[in-house]
A and B are shown apart, each in its own frame.
Chain A
């Protein structure tokens, strides 16, 4: 049960981030944080299929995390969290077409290793 929840959290989190990024890039840059700008962003996001799918994936991941937190220590989700940093960077490069070079790979790897070490 615990490991199933961990897998659901990792996969849905990755899908959610990639879909949200693709969706938000489609609807254009948010220029400021005034309430009317955020309302405009939300109005466009709720009819944006990528963002709808992305938020649905994050909602599943969120409920799985609530379940996991109620039966296990947070550290249980750590291996999946660490792996998802590398997986998401890979998808950012090959699916979203971002320019991922040595620095960003090194950054993602350092963060993934650091997240694992934080549990000791």
Chain B
């Protein structure tokens, strides 16, 4: 893939990570306000969607889904998975900076390991296959 194509893939990685973090933080905040739901019926979840944080989280996660599909059309799953794990690092650092959460040394070690994984995966080509997987057609 040429340099311009790689830049587009990296832009998609950034969009996927940011929308994932914002969507999940918003959704998680909303569900904690809504409280306990365990049900097999989707209708019981509709009530939760009236919470503004939950609704915003779901809208952002819909954008995340589109960006993720666009990214998977261009890049390997085994590239996308470790690289988008940088979302975990962002969530931990946001918690530290905005909410002044304590980060134990084991959590710092986790942050370092994930960052290492992201850097290693970034050094591999974004796509190693040509066309669709043949035996799946």
Q: A: which residues have CB within 8 A of B?
A: 1, 17-18, 20-22, 24-33, 38, 41-42, 45, 50-51, 55, 58, 62-63, 66-67, 69-71, 74, 85, 88-89, 91-93, 95-101, 103-104, 106-111, 113-120
Assess the B114–A110 pair: CB atoms within 8 A: yes
Q: B: which residues have CB within 8 A of A?
A: 8, 11-12, 15, 27-28, 31-32, 34-39, 42, 45, 48, 61, 65-66, 68-70, 72-74, 76-82, 85, 88, 92, 104, 106-107, 109-118, 120-121, 123-125, 128-129, 131-134, 136-137
With A41-B70, A70-B36, A107-B82: A96-B77 Cβ-Cβ less than 8 Å: yes
Closest chain A CB from B43 CB (angstroms) = 12
For B106, give its contact among A29, A51, A120 (CB under 8 Å): A120
Assess the B28–A74 pair: CB atoms within 8 A: yes
Assess the B66–A38 pair: CB atoms within 8 A: yes
Residue of B nearest to A58 (CB): B65
Cα distance, A41 to B68, chains bound together (Å): 12
With A21-B77, A29-B74: A110-B117 Cβ-Cβ less than 8 Å: yes
Closest chain B CB from A19 CB (angstroms) = 9
Using Cβ atoms and an 8 Å threshold, which residues of chain A touch B74?
A: 29-30
Using Cβ atoms and an 8 Å threshold, which residues of chain A touch B73?
A: 24-25, 27-30, 41
Using Cβ atoms and an 8 Å threshold, which residues of chain B touch A21?
A: 72, 76-77, 80
Cα distance, A20 to B74, chains bound together (Å): 12
Residue of B nearest to A42 (CB): B66
Residue of B nearest to A33 (CB): B70
Closest chain A CB from B131 CB (angstroms) = 7
